[in-house]
Amino acid sequence: MVKSVKKMSSSTVGSLHQFTENEVKEVRDKLLTWYDINHRVLPWRSVAATEPDLNKRAYAVWVSEVMLQQTQVSTVISYFEKWMRKWPSVADLASASLEEVNQVWAGLGYYSRARRLHEGAIKIMKELNGEVPNDRDSLIRHLPGIGRYSGSAIASIALGCAVGVVDGNVNRVLARVRAIGADISVQSSAEHMWSLADKIVDPVRPGDFNQAIMELGATVCTPKTPTCSACPLRLHCLAYRRSESQQEKVSITSHFIKGDEKRTTLPTSDVPDIECLSNCDLCLRQEDWDGSLGVQNYPRKAQKTKSRQESSVVVILQSKNEKMLLVQRPKTGLLANLWEFPSIPLAQSDDPDEEVITQLVNQFGVPHSSASSRTFISDVIHIFSHIRQTYKVFKISACDQRNVTWPSRYQDGQWMTKEEFLTSATSTAMKKVVKSLELSCEPKCKNNKKKKAGPLEQSLETKKQKTISQFFTSALKK
């Protein structure tokens, strides 16, 4: 998925940041040779290399690319294999329910990806005669959630289309190889990256070439501690040359932009000088160069978005037969369609305790006495992209299932056993909530043989239990 980029007026780009025809040929040859020897064996690559059915091949790569969005390769492997065993074709996926899809996806996060895969499969079967689109533009146009990067990856890897790809790994490799020091989130810089990717992609083996440059960024040209000595593009890498020149105490000042000079030169001892325009918008400014970072000066790091803090109360309502109430989230938004425990957002209220009691009574039908005597379990923290979510977990035992209800913001509600909960479409965050409940029971199980606490010990234990008001006293004072 291609991230949104900042807009910028047309820029001036010097020849330093382009590839010559000879360089293009050498980059292709060296990168493919390196890839043939060093590539990781991954299940979707095996399908792309051996599956004769173009439709099945495209489907497998499509699934892998969607799973790999914002998720590590090591995590995706088992999910991909399980998915393909359950739904080996587009038709199989289209016939599944969204509930089943979310169950298999559970734990991968960003659940909208699973929903869009399912929607795409249904669309292919209903509107495209069961055929996956066969080029980048058609993939982007017809498949939900497929953007420029995903469409290019599927088209090149599965369909043999000679189109380049640009993701985080490719951005890093190209920024270092061509000494691109501009903010790559700016639209003009991003477009230049796509132009370079399309120019250097190998027309005979486009899929392998694109996987090779991504593999290089993932395993060699890494964000931190890159292994430049093992890089097949080392001799073409301007960031490496500059770093080496710095270490050898060779002056690099002449390469940087000076307002009154017509052009600047990158010095190197073994390669002819490369000239760039004095007003080039892609060059790294002298004041931005950090000699201690070397090649890690590229690409320029964008300012990180700060995580916002959110808190809510999660209540485990447990019936006499130890079933727990789960409610289904709305069809859109964060964690759409997933099952969770009743949740109460904590607003800046003067009395959070009373707010929780009121909502439990009015929205979930919990008796006032039960809501007031709920047991605090623990805080559970979960990170959602740019949200740091704190769940304050409580438990209410022996609820009468007949009287409990749920507010209209939820699609449905069900009483589930722990086993049913674990096999349903629930988020990792909710699994953490159940784990916190289990951990809270462990001391009781281990200390069954200990003597019963006396009145004084019970009094001290009671003092340790905080109310919600105490948890949020500091926050309310701000």
Residue-averaged pLDDT of the chain:
83
Residue 467 binned pLDDT confidence (cut-offs 50, 70, 90):
low
pLDDT at 301: 73
pLDDT at 461: 42
pLDDT at 46: 95
Residue 470 binned pLDDT confidence (cut-offs 50, 70, 90):
low
Residue 63 binned pLDDT confidence (cut-offs 50, 70, 90):
very high
Q: Beta strands of 241-384 (E only): which ranges?
A: 263-266, 274-277, 308-319, 324-328, 339-340, 343-345, 375-384
Q: What is the per-residue pLDDT across 274-284, written as a single tens digit (0 to 9) for each?
A: 456 666 778 88
**Which residue carries 């099945």 as its tokens?**
56
Q: Phi and psi of 62, rounded to 5°?
A: -60, -50
pLDDT at 451: 44
Residues 6+ apart with CB under 8 A from 463: none
As to burial, measured by CB atoms within 10 angstroms (0-12 exposed, 13-18 middle, 19+ buried), residue 133 is buried
Percent of the chain with pLDDT over 70: 81
CA 333, 81, 382, 307 torsion-angle sign: negative
Percent of the chain with pLDDT over 90: 53
Amino acid at 130: G
Question: What is the β-pairing status of strands 324-328 and 412-416?
Answer: antiparallel
pLDDT > 50? residue 271: no
Q: What is the mean pLDDT of residues 159-166?
A: 97
pLDDT at 200: 97
pLDDT at 73: 94
| More confident call, 360 vs 347 | 360
pLDDT > 60? residue 258: no
Query: What's the DSSP call for residue 1?
Result: -
pLDDT > 50? residue 52: yes
| More confident call, 17 vs 10 | 17
Residue 335 binned pLDDT confidence (cut-offs 50, 70, 90):
confident
Quick one: residue 163, left, alpha or beta (phi over 0 = left, psi -120 to 50 = alpha)? beta
pLDDT at 251: 44
Residues 6+ apart with CB under 8 A from 87: 93, 96
Residues labelled as active-site residues? 65
pLDDT at 263: 43
Q: Is the pTM of this model over 0.75?
A: no
Residues 6+ apart with CB under 8 A from 215: 35, 38, 39, 40, 169
pLDDT at 371: 87
Residues in the chain: 478
Structure tokens at 210: 């694109």
Closest CA to 385 of 98, 3, 77, 13: 3
pLDDT > 70? residue 455: no
CA distance readout (Å), 74 to 39, 41, 67, 80, 383 = 14, 12, 11, 11, 20
Select the highest-mean-pLDDT range: 48-62, 296-310, 315-329: 48-62
Q: What is the per-residue pLDDT across 353-387, written as a single tens digit (0 to 9) for each?
A: 888 888 899 989 998 988 888 999 999 999 887 78
Q: What is the per-residue pLDDT across 117-147, written as a single tens digit (0 to 9) for each?
A: 999 999 999 999 999 999 999 999 999 999 9
Determine which of 44-48, 133-137, 183-187 has the lowest per-residue pLDDT on average. 183-187
Q: Phi and psi of 155, rounded to 5°?
A: -65, -40
pLDDT > 90? residue 236: yes
Q: What is the mean pLDDT of residues 111-119?
A: 93
- CA geometry: angle 366, 369, 371, nearest 5 deg: 50
pLDDT > 80? residue 1: no
